[in-house]
Amino acid sequence: MSDKKVNRDNFGQLYDKYIKKIFNFIYYKTHHKETAEDLTSETFIKALNNLGSFNENKGSFSTWIYQIARNTVIDFYRTKKNNVNVDDIWDLSTDEDILRDLDTAKRLEDVKEYLKTLKSEQREIVILRVWEGMSYKEISDAMGKTEASCKMAFSRTIKTLKETMPLSVFLSMLLF
C-alpha cells in the first residue's frame, strides 16, 4: 500500500506497517518496555487525531509519524527531567530516576559512553541503520532528509566512533 493514501479508513494498514518500527524506534530511545508501549500508543493516537493536518505534499507519512514519535519521546523526558533539553534516554544515562530494562542496560554497558557522546541525530542514524537494518531510502523517509545526507551523516558517525572508541571496548568483545 502506498503511504500517499493516508486516511482514517486505511489507518489500520498504516498501523500494521509502522507499529513495530515505531515501537522499536521508541524502545531504542527509552530502553524500557512499558514506557515504550505507552509512548507508542500516544504516538498512534496523536497521529490519528491529527490526520487532517498531514499533508502528503510536504513529506511522507513515514517522516510524519517518526516526527510525532520523536516529539513524544522528547516531551516524555522533559517532564521527567524538566530542566534539561533532552532528546532521549542517552542524554539522561546517569539519571537513576529513569527506568531501564536490565537486559538492555547490560547489553549497552560497553558502548553507552560512546553512543551518548554522539548528537541525537547521529544516534538515530545508528539506531535505524545498524539496529533496525533500514535502507537509506527508509531512513531518509523516517528522518525527512535526503538519502545522500543520511549516508554522509552515518559515515561521519562511524568515523567519530573510530576516533573515540578505545581498544578496550574491542578487547571486551573478544571476551564476550
Partner 1 sequence: MDKQIKQILRDVYSIDQSLKMHESTLIKIIQELLRSKPESKIDEQFVRELRAKVIERAKLLSNIKPHTNMFNTLFNKKFTYALVGTVIIIGAIIMINLPQKGGKLAINSLDENAFGELSFSQEVQNPEASGRGGGGNGEIMGVVSPEMVNYNFIYAGDDFSLDSGQITAYRVLKGDFLNKELLNVASNLDLSVLNLNKFQNIKIGNIEISEDRDFGYSVYIYPRQNSLSINANWEKWPRREESDTPAEMLADEELLSVADKFLAEYGINTDMYEKGEIINYAGGVLSENASIVYPLKIDDQIIYDQAGNKYGMNVSVSLRHKRVVSVYGIVTNTIESSKYAKETNKDKVIAFAEDGGLFKNYTYPNAVRTLDLELGTPEVILVTMWQRSENKMDTAEILVPSLVFPVITEMSEQTYFYRTNVVVPLIGELLDQYNKPIPDVRTFE
In the region spanning residues 47 to 106, those forming contacts with partner 1, defined by CB under 8 A, are: 48-51, 53, 58-59, 67, 71, 75, 78-80, 82-85, 93-94, 96-97, 100-106
Binds partner 1 (CB under 8 A): choice among 6, 18, 28, 73: 28
* Residue 138 in contact with partner 1, rule: CB under 8 A: no
Is residue 131 close enough to count as binding partner 1 by CB under 8 A?
yes
**Residue 13 found at the interface with partner 1 (CB under 8 A):** no
Q: Determine, following the binding rule CB under 8 A, whether residue 166 of this chain makes contact with partner 1.
A: yes
Rounded to 10°, the helix 147-164/136-143 angle is 100
Contact status: 155 vs partner 1 (CB under 8 A): yes
As measured in angstroms, the least distance from the Cβ of 2 to partner 1 is 18
3-state DSSP call for residue 75?
helix
Q: Give the nearer residue to partner 1 in terms of CB position, either 2 or 170.
A: 170
Count of positions (residues) in the chain? 176
Choice between 1 and 152, CB closer to partner 1 = 152
175 binds partner 1 (CB under 8 A): no
Sole binder of partner 1 in the list 1, 5, 56, 130 (CB under 8 A): 130
CA 73 vs CA 31, 85, 90: distances in Å: 12, 12, 12
Radius of gyration of the chain (CA): 17
Sign of the torsion formed by the C-alpha atoms of 103, 27, 114 and 171: positive
Helix (H) or strand (E) holding 150: helix 147-164
How far is CA 35 from each of CA 38, 63, 89, 163, 170, rounded to the nearest angstrom?
Answer: 5, 22, 11, 33, 31
CA distance 20 to 26: 10
CB closer to partner 1 out of 5 and 164: 164
Q: Which is nearer to partner 1, 78 or 138 (CB)?
A: 78
